[in-house]
Amino acid sequence: MSSPRRLNEPLTSLIVLILLASLVVPLSGCSVQTPSARVRSASLTSLSLSNMKVKLGMNLRNPNTFALPISQIDWDLKVFERPLADGIVQLDREVPAQGSSRFDVPLTISLKRASANVSDLFSGRRIPFKINGVVALDSPMGEVTTRFVKTGRWDNPLSALRVPMDEAEVDIDELQLPCIPLK
């Protein structure tokens, strides 16, 4: 005859196994699904001798059952297939659980610090561009990121300016001329 203790061991093991399974099953659903980011528009809002302003229209979709706060957006901009600028934008926004968020990201690019030849921006009627980036979001399991890219062409707002020089009032803050070697 088996002792009562031996009968309880399999029952105790079964109870422990059921308890562990009840803890593991909910945790397996805690994985973070990657959100999607899409640039719906990239508008050149102004262009001057000192800076360029771009409004980046974004859509973020969150497939998770919990909201995802946006911590930052890292971006880089190329014009005429050459790097122009990059930066980080901090945002105080949240993408709702199983929802989407639509917002604008203002980018101000200092042309004085730009790495591309900015003279290209002032010539020609169209400016080809490419904006790449990463959106970083905070989740209960840590940071999650998603990438975005947008390419296109902007109409150059300066190409429409056709003011005769004898009628123009010119105010120059800074003028740099290329170095020409003397022979």
Domain boundaries along the sequence of the chain: 36-154
More confident residue, 156 or 126: 126
Sequence letter at residue 24: V
Tokens standing for 68? 């995802």
| Of 35, 72, 54, 34, nearest in space to 131 by CA | 54
| Of 24, 92, 95, nearest in space to 65 by CA | 95
Strand partners, 105: 56
Query: What's the pLDDT tens digit per position in 12-58?
Result: 666 666 665 555 444 445 689 999 999 999 888 888 878 888 899 99
Query: What's the pLDDT tens digit per position in 131-169?
Result: 999 999 999 999 999 999 999 998 877 666 554 444 444
| Of 28, 35, 27, 21, nearest in space to 68 by CA | 35
Topology annotation, domain 36-154: Immunoglobulin-like (2.60.40)
Dihedral sign, Cα of residue 147, residue 152, residue 153, residue 154: negative
- CB crowding 33-45: b at 16 or more within 10 Å, else e: eebebebeebebe
Q: What is the CA radius of gyration of the chain?
A: 28
For residue 130, the SS3 value is: strand
Tokens standing for 128? 């080809």
